[in-house]
Each structure stands twice: as structure tokens, then as C-alpha cells.
Amino acid sequence: MPAPEQQPVPFSAALRTASSEEHRAAEQSSFMSRLLGGHLGVDAYADLTGQLWYVYRALESRAEELAGHRVAGPFVDRALLRTAALERDLAHLRGPGWRDGLTPLPATAAYAARVEELAERWPAGYLAHHYTRYLGDLSGGQIIRGIAERTWGFARKGDGVRFYVFEEIDNPAAFKREYRARLDAAGLALDEVERRRVVEECKRAFVLNGAVFRDLDARYPLSA
């Protein structure tokens, strides 16, 4: 039996540890701090929701093809899909013509392009983005939902915050445990070089999110 130090770190733990600094940076970003501190209006929240729509469209539009992939396939799960929930939120936030005038910020376009590229060419790398978004939505996303409901008066788990509500996941903690077990199994199916590349891609996923926050932050200058 190998000594404990020779056993590989479970992939889920490797991803979490490697991205912990980037996670802190995202949490403490100016845009998130201002938004969740109640210093921005509902227009900024609607803006964030619109940008997320581009990201999730990129994450979800190739789900069917990815379902057959050896590494990414086990993660394709309709219970996670967010595009329809985002569209309901956007109809509430921007009105029925919510697509009119909606454009991706440069950072959002770059983020979505990266996800699309990976979904097509490197599904193991796509997995890094899947983890970064969906496990985050099931975690900190729940905190964001509560604050959004209180700050802008959305109905509990209703229109405006449906993005954060996973109707088909009764027990998020159990789901996350099971998701991490899937990550660990995926890690065992990858060689060391590939594992490291996926971990690097995960950090990049956080950086891409941070860039969207920066672009959004610049749209809402501090009032004098």
C-alpha cells in the first residue's frame, strides 16, 4: 500500500485548494462587494444577470455532444441547466424584450469564447469551467440569492433570482458531495500532466470571472 504522501490528492481537493486565492479575490472584488453591500441598484444586478446569460449559453449549448465524452460526460446534468432560469429572470428584470440591447461586455465575450472553444476542442478543460460556475452557484450563489431578495425585493426563490434556485436539486450539500466524487473519479482518469492543465484552467476560469466583474464595475462609477 502506498504511503499516504504518495497517494494523489483527490482532484476535487486539488481544484478547491488551487483556486482558493482566486476565489477570495472574486468574493472581495469591488463589483461583488458593492453589489452585495447594497451600494448598487437593481440595474447593476440586471446587468450581471445579462452577462451570465452569455456565459451559461456557452456552457450549456453543447451539453448533448459533451454527454458522450469520457471525462466531461458524467457532469452533464439537466438539473444544473441555468439558461432557462436566466431567461425568466431577464424577462422580469428587463421586460419581455430583454434581448433588445443586451450585449456582452468585452470580458464576457472573451469568457464565453473560451468556454465554447473548450467544449469543442478540450472537454477536460471545459470541466474546469463547469466546476467553477456550478459548484459556485450551489455554494456562494445561495448567499447572493438571499441578499438579492432582501436588497431589491424579489420574491423568495422567485422571478429575478431563479438563476440561483436549483428546482431539481433537493439537497445541495449532498449534490455537492456527489459532484466532488465525480471530480475525483475524473481526476483518476487523467494523467498527471492533464490534471495539472485542468487545475490551471480552473484558475483561469476564476480570472475570467474577475474580468467580467471589473468590466461591470467600470460601468457603475462611484458617485461623487
Least separation, in Å, of the C-beta of 9 and ligand HEM?
Answer: 13
Contact map string, positions 25 to 64, toward ligand HEM, x by CB under 6 A: -xx----x---x----------------------------
Q: Is residue 51 within 8 Å of residue 104, measured between CB atoms?
A: yes
Q: Which three cell numbers stand for residue 132?
A: 467553477
Least separation, in Å, of the C-beta of 88 and ligand HEM?
Answer: 21
Q: Which of 136, 187, 195, 217 binds ligand HEM (CB under 6 A)?
A: 136
> How many residues are present in the chain?
224
Q: Please say which residue, 13 or 91, places its beta carbon nearer to ligand HEM.
A: 13
Stretch in the footprint of ligand HEM (CB under 6 A) among 41-49, 67-75, 136-144, 152-160 = 136-144
Q: 55: closest CA among 122, 139, 1, 134?
A: 134
112 binds ligand HEM (CB under 6 A): no
CA torsion sign for 171, 175, 178, 184 is negative
H helices, E strands: number in the chain:
12, 0
83 binds ligand HEM (CB under 6 A): no
DSSP secondary structure code for residue 159 in this structure: T
